Amino acid sequence: MKRWRRAIRMMAMMLICVPMTAVVANAEPAPYVPAPGIEAKYFEQGPAAVTERIGFACCDSTGAKFDVWYPTDLGTTRHPIVVWGNGTNAVPSQYTYLLRHLASWGFVVIATENQRTGSGVDIRKSLDYLLARDEDPASEFFGKLDRTAVGAMGHSQGASGVLNAMRDSAGVIKTVVPLELPAQTWCSNSIACADTRSLTSGSVFLVNGSTDALISPSHQALPWQTDGLQSNQGYYEATPANVTKVWATLSGPNHNDVQGQPGCYGASFPCTTGVYGYLGYPTAWLLGQLTGDAAARAAFRAGGALFGPSPNWHNQVGGVTD
């Protein structure tokens, strides 16, 4: 069994790291059609113009720089924060379409360029840096950040990282959106492993693609109590009842669709449709959890918009109760 898992792990790492070739540009799928209402609203770009600054500042514990995306006109309001976690061997600029999308809806987004974010340590370092700028009169972020409205989103290893970052944040990170969370069999070490049983507060919206059966499967053959957390269903079921939790699977996407710009061209292999499905409901989740957007929050209550019949989503379970 260990030899089999080691071989599969090596194959999966090859899939994560191989860049997409130009051939995919000739096979762009039809545009994603979001459900009317909340998903359609937040599927579109938000009203804010966005400033992107790559290599904005230095540094996390490894010396990696931080990148930021934020509304160009910060105005007089305080903006919610999203900290991002990269997948294995990836950097934030590979997720530009998604991160710009979040900033267009009012979030200030920060990400370390660290390519090994599974422990969550350097995801929290990026947050610490940004919160310090909120207190620095010389910073454009001085007095502009809502320190009580911090969320985290991450892909693959970064999905593990944001869960660990929330666990260790002493309540500062309020909610996380893990995208394509890897089964525990892919953990290179226990520090980079995610275990939703360890969460004590906050909220979680788990999202995986239906064709990502190798790295982030929806279901597992044996119960998680027997085989460990090897599926999104397992992670969802193991999350304590006092933590608000939702899980849903996008129909079609593979492991690296979230890197789409917006289709698969430019994304790492494997990708089948692009970033489209990761825009609407994840943005609504963050707004509902962090800003008091009542309509967005209602979409995740039992019987809400996410849970209706859909050609784009299945495995919808859980819900916001308050």
Cα(321)–Cα(185) distance, integer angstroms: 32
Whole-number Å distance between alpha carbons of 208 and 206:
7
According to the model, what pLDDT value does residue 28 have? 54
Can you list the residues of the chain whose pLDDT is less than 70?
1-30
Exposure letters 119-145 (e unless 16+ CB within 10 A, then b): bbbbbbbbbebbbebbeeeeeebeebb
C-alpha–C-alpha distance, residues 211 and 151, integer Å: 27
Residues 180-198 have pLDDT tens digits of 999 999 987 888 899 999 9
Q: Which two tokens stand for residue 175?
A: 């909610």
Q: Report the predicted TM-score, pTM, of the whole model to 2 decimal places.
A: 0.92
> 201-235, pLDDT tens digit by residue?
999 999 999 999 999 999 999 999 999 999 999 99
Q: Helix, strand, coil proportions of the chain in percent (round to 5)?
A: 35, 20, 45
Q: Are 249 and 281 in contact (CB under 8 A)?
A: no
